[in-house]
Amino acid sequence: MTPSLEVRGLAYAYPDGTQALYGVDVTIGRGERVALLGPNGAGKTTLVLHLNGILHGGLGEVRVGGLAVDPKDKKSLREIRRRVGIVFQDPDDQLFMPTVREDVAFGPANLGMRGAELDGRVESALARVGMLEVAGRPPQHLSFGQRRRVAVATVLAMEPEILVLDEPSSNLDPASRRELAEILLGLDVTVLMVTHDMPYAAQLCPRSLILSGGVIAADAPTADLLTDEDLLRAHRLELPFGFDPAAARR
């Protein structure tokens, strides 16, 4: 089966000369849930923005479901951006319409979907995140945790192959954190979760990558990475006080 994501030799420098990626190689299979860990400045955001062609112009290759990310091919790029759904850390960066329903409908409608088909897509996406009952409400009237779930629904409405989550647990209270985890565990999509939250990575992602210094420094089962104290220390990663990854593995 064709992997959901293939990254080969990806290197990228910003216009000011800052080298962010030095040759990243990653393959993620369909349906995998993978955490992307790493210190600030490691290149995580740069890597994510290459997955749907927002950043380009460096060396190497990115393929999504076998389709090459090529900024010169507008038709394929449009399909890539449907396949790769990014949920930003701040849901207010994604929610801008008068109602929740309109926010979730925005992407499919932009692809030409209308009528009953569009309504069904919106209702299905909201139901998957447990937010169907707030469809007619303004997003700004929802709690932060509810807005994050609606942001996930805006991406699910596009029926993506890969769901990319940027720090999904940040600023969530314990109940909202648990509810989001239950939703994510129930999704039938490939998940790439960018996070500093080690317990969340252990809970949600069987596999983790450490991106450090612009390269993949480790790729292994999450439990193995989180119990390797020397590896974590070498890449400025710290477990929260009281969290025992060995116990989480059991």
DSSP 48: H
pLDDT, one tens digit per residue, over 208-225 is 999 999 999 999 999 999
**What confidence score (pLDDT) does residue 127 get?**
97
- Alpha-carbon distance of 248 to 34, in angstroms, equals 17
Topology (CATH) of 5-249: Rossmann fold (3.40.50)
Q: How far is CA 158 from CA 84, 90, 238, in A?
A: 9, 19, 35
Average pLDDT of the segment spanning 111-128: 95
Distance CA 247, CA 208 (A): 18
Average pLDDT over the chain reads 94
The reported pLDDT for the residue numbered 249 is: 58
pLDDT at 198: 94
Q: What is the reported pLDDT for 147?
A: 96
Instruction: Copy the structure tokens of residue 194.
Output: 């960018």
Quote the pLDDT of residue 250. Answer: 52
Confidence of residue 41 (pLDDT cuts 50, 70, 90): confident
pLDDT for 248: 66
How confident is the model at residue 80, as a pLDDT? 94
pLDDT at 72: 87
| pTM for the model | 0.94
For 152, other C-beta atoms within 10 Å of its C-beta total 27
pLDDT (mean) for 51-69: 93
Smallest Cα–Cα separation from 194: which of 77, 46, 94? Answer: 46
Three-class SS state of 41: coil
pLDDT the model gives residue 1: 80
Average pLDDT rounded to a whole number, residues 65-77? 91
In this prediction, residue 244 carries a pLDDT of 87
pLDDT for the residue 5 = 97
CA distances 174 to 49, 61, 143, 196, 198, Å, are 29, 39, 13, 16, 15
Using left for φ > 0, alpha for ψ between -120 and 50, and beta otherwise, residue 53 falls in left
Q: Provide the pLDDT for residue 81.
A: 92
Token pair listed for 95 = 């929610």
